[in-house]
Structure 1
């Protein structure tokens, strides 16, 4: 779902940018414009047009991915609800028996915390 929103925002920004740049791309080289500036301006127009073509070509795939993500999310939510209700409605399957520890426990001395010198060999 997030990818669909991101793709939509990118597409919208590209459309706005194309509208602004299209006016610049249609213009011929101005007499006071250098060849360097004109080259990059023309290159920018071509890259922009290519990005628009890619966005348009990817739109059906993005729509399909978005629909699949929605279906997957709803199926996971539905399955979660089923399992949640199944677990809460049935109750525990094993009877709870009281736990009693009647056996005596053995006391084990703990190791000293401080470091002790190693035994001599």
Structure 2
């Protein structure tokens, strides 16, 4: 498992170090570069193009989710406000503080000291 993580990390570092950008994808293979570097450039270009396509395809769905979440949030807030006002308007005395004038009783607490063995 550790070997796979290390291998993936090294591959990621190699891909990042190649500096694949959109401009590099349009260029013709440089004869000075090794085959390995050209393969990594090609792979990086494909991954970059695929990621851009995924972002473009997902954007309408993400916008729809955001709009739906906003609608749900605003409807929940409206329902909460209506419920709060209905409770307060129906029972105006319930929001008044409660006074407790009844006498209280003092109760002695048990001691906290441990019992000594006999």
TM-score normalized with structure 2 length:
0.65
Structure 2: segments with no counterpart, 5+ residues: 1-19
Which consecutive segments of 4 or more residues in structure 1 shift more than 3 A? 96-102, 107-110
Matches within 5 A, 1:34-113: 34-90=34-90, 91-92=92-93, 101=102, 109-113=108-112
What is the aligned partner in structure 1 of residue 16 from structure 2? none
Shift of 1:97: 8.9
CA distance in 2, matches of 1:87, 1:75: 18
CA distance in 2, matches of 1:36, 1:98: 83
RMSD: 3.0
CA distance in 2, matches of 1:97, 1:21: 70
CA distance in 1, matches of 2:31, 2:49: 25
Matched, 1:33 2:23: no
CA distance in 2, matches of 1:52, 1:92: 61
CA distance in 1, matches of 2:23, 2:99: 82
Matched residue count: 98
Matched, 1:22 2:22: yes
Shift of 1:72: 0.3
Q: For the structure 1 residues 28 and 115, does the alpha-carbon distance in structure 2 shift closer, same or farther, using more than 3 Å as the test?
A: same
What is the aligned partner in structure 1 of residue 113 from structure 2? 114
